[in-house]
């Protein structure tokens, strides 16, 4: 696998990485401001994170009882937008990890190759999570009892991989700044 990742030493170019990172960040911010921001408070005391981390059907049905049909329909729209949002966080994090890793020593660069995959792994789990969220929203209250567990487990794994990737990026960025200061 490292041989295939070796191509990432030069391709895509740093400029392309910066451009796709910027485009992804614009997507991320636009969806946050226009879609997720207004949805955040639409569900009263429960928001999308409460929904993502409601591990049981009983917890989901409590949330749905508070939300009602109108908020559930709004949240479903938000979940559909989340599929595009995945691009907004996977591509920039991938590009930034790769960009910073390229500027450091070979050992960190090799680690960076693997770390650059963490946002894509997170994105896969986000897709699994979203599918299960939509199943619950569209089949309530008759969804299978294991669906909330799959959604919550997928959300946990997603955030875990995102945190790992983000921490690596920040550490690599600090190392890069230290390297530049020492020169």
Report d(CA 133, CA 49) in Å as an integer.
11
Domain locations in the chain?
10-182
pLDDT band at 1 (very low <50, low <70, confident <90, very high): low
Query: In Å, what is the CA distance from 112 to each residue of 21, 103, 131, 140, 177?
Result: 16, 11, 30, 42, 16
Report d(CA 128, CA 155) in Å as an integer.
9
Query: In Å, what is the CA distance from 153 to each residue of 40, 120, 148, 160?
Result: 22, 17, 8, 11
The pTM (predicted TM-score) of the whole model is 0.90
Q: Is the pLDDT of residue 150 over 70?
A: yes
Residues ≥6 apart with Cβ < 8 Å to 12: 20
> What are 8-60's pLDDT values in tens digits?
777 888 899 999 999 999 999 999 999 998 888 887 889 999 999 999 999 99
Task: Give 112 or 6, the one with higher predicted confidence.
Answer: 112
- Residues 134-160 have a mean pLDDT of 97
> What are 125-144's pLDDT values in tens digits?
999 999 999 999 999 999 99
> What are 55-105's pLDDT values in tens digits?
999 999 999 999 999 999 999 999 999 999 999 999 999 999 999 999 988
pLDDT band at 176 (very low <50, low <70, confident <90, very high): very high
């Amino acid at each position: 696998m490292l041989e295939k990742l070796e191509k990432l030493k030069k391709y895509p170019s740093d400029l392309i990485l910066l451009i796709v990172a910027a485009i992804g960040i614009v997507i991320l911010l636009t969806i946050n401001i226009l879609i997720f921001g207004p949805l955040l408070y639409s569900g009263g005391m429960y928001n999308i994170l409460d929904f993502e981390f409601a591990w049981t059907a009983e917890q989901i049905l409590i949330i749905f009882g508070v939300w009602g049909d109108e908020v559930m329909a709004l949240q479903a729209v938000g979940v559909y937008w989340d599929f595009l949002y995945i691009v907004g966080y996977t591509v920039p994090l991938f590009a930034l990890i790769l960009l910073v890793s390229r500027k450091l020593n070979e050992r960190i660069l090799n680690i960076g190759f693997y770390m650059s995959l963490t946002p894509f792994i997170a994105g896969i789990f986000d897709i699994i999570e979203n599918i299960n969220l939509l199943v619950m929203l569209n089949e309530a209250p008759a969804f299978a009892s294991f669906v909330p567990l799959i959604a919550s487990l997928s959300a946990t794994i997603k955030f875990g991989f995102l945190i790992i990737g983000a921490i690596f990026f920040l550490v690599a960025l600090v190392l890069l700044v230290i390297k530049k200061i020492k020169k």
